[in-house]
Chains A and B, each alone.
Chain A
Amino acid sequence: MAEHPSTLAHQFDDVEQQHEASNLGMWVFLITEIMFFGGVFTLFTVYVSAYPEAFAQGSGHLDLALGTVNTAVLLGSSFTMAMAVRSAQTGRRNGQVVYLLLTMFLGLVFLGIKAVEYLHKFEQHLVPGPNFSFASPLAKNVQLFFSFYFAMTGLHALHMIVGVGILAVLLVQAWRGRYTADYCTPVEVSGLYWHFVDIVWIFLFPFLYLVARHAT
Chain B
Amino acid sequence: MSTSVGEWRQHYLNAGYSVRSWLLTTDHKRIAILYLASITLFFLLGGVLAGLLRLELLTPHGDLVQAETYNKLFTLHGITMIFFFLIPSIPAVLGNFLVPMMIGARDLAFPRLNLASWYVYVLGGSFTIVAAVTGGVDTGWTFYTPYSSTYANTNVILTALGVFITGFSSILTGLNFIVTIHKMRAPGLTWSRLPLFIWAHYATSLIMVLGTPVLAVTILLVALERGLGIGIFDPVLGGDPVLFQHLFWFYSHPAVYIMILPSMGVVSELIACFSRKRIFGYNVVAFSSLMIAALGFLVWGHHMFVSSQSMYAGMIFSLLSFLVAIPSAIKVFNWTATLYKGSIAYQTPMLYAFGFIGLFTIGGLTGLFLATLAVDVHVHDTYFVVAHFHYIMVGGAIMGYLGGLHFWWPKMTGRMYPEGWARVAAAILFVGFNLTFFPQFILGFLGMPRRYHVYPPEWQILNVLSSAGASILGVGYLLPVIYLLWSLRYGAIAGPNPWGATGLEWQTPSPPPTDNFEKTPVVTEEAYAYSLPEASRG
Contacts and interface: CB of A to CB of B under 8 A. Distances in A.
Interface of A: 9-13, 17, 20-21, 24-25, 28-29, 31-33, 35-40, 42-43, 46-47, 50-51, 54, 128-130, 140-141, 143-144, 147-148, 150-151, 155
Interface in B210-242: 210-214, 216-218, 221, 224, 228-232, 234, 236-240
Most chain A CB atoms below 10 A, which of B175, B180, B209, B211? B175
Given A28-B179, A32-B209, 10 more contacts: A9-B111, A11-B100, A12-B184, A21-B182, A25-B109, A25-B175, A140-B237, A143-B237, A148-B232, A151-B230
A43 B243 CA distance: 7
Pick the 3 closest A-B CB pairs, nearest first. Answer: A36-B213, A11-B107, A129-B229
A32 B247 contact: no
Contacts of A51: 238
Interface in B102-151: 105-111
Given A11-B108, A46-B240, A51-B238, A147 B175 contact: no
B230 A128 contact: yes
Contact of B237 (A36, A144, A151): A144
B190 interface: no
B66 interface: no
Contact of B231 (A20, A25, A29, A143): A143
Contact of B175 (A20, A28, A37, A129): A28
Contact of B212 (A32, A37, A130): A32
A151 B105 contact: no
A21 B213 contact: no
Contacts of B111: 9, 11
Majority-rule SS of A interface residues: helix
A141 B243 CA distance: 16
Contacts of B234: 144
A50 B212 CA distance: 27
Contacts, number: 116
B110 A25 contact: yes
B178 interface: yes
B210 A31 contact: yes
Nearest to B178: A28
B237 A35 contact: no
5 contacts: A11-B184, A17-B183, A31-B209, A38-B213, A129-B228
A140 B182 CA distance: 50
Nearest to B110: A25
Interface string B241-267: 001000100100000000000000000
B466 to A, nearest CB: 37
Most chain B CB atoms below 10 A, which of A17, A29, A129, A155? A29
Most chain A CB atoms below 10 A, which of B105, B213, B221? B213
A145 to B, nearest CB: 10
A9 B111 CA distance: 10
A51 B235 CA distance: 13
Nearest to A40: B217
A130 B230 CA distance: 10
B232 A39 contact: no
Most chain B CB atoms below 10 A, which of A21, A28, A129, A150? A28
B247 A39 contact: yes
A147 to B, nearest CB: 4
B336 interface: no
Given A128-B231, A147-B237, A148-B232, A39 B182 contact: no
Contacts of A43: 221, 232, 243, 247
Contact of A151 (B107, B108, B213, B221): B221
A20 B515 CA distance: 21
A32 B106 contact: no
B237 A141 contact: yes
A21 B179 contact: yes
Contacts of B182: 21, 24
A33 B397 CA distance: 29
A50 to B, nearest CB: 7
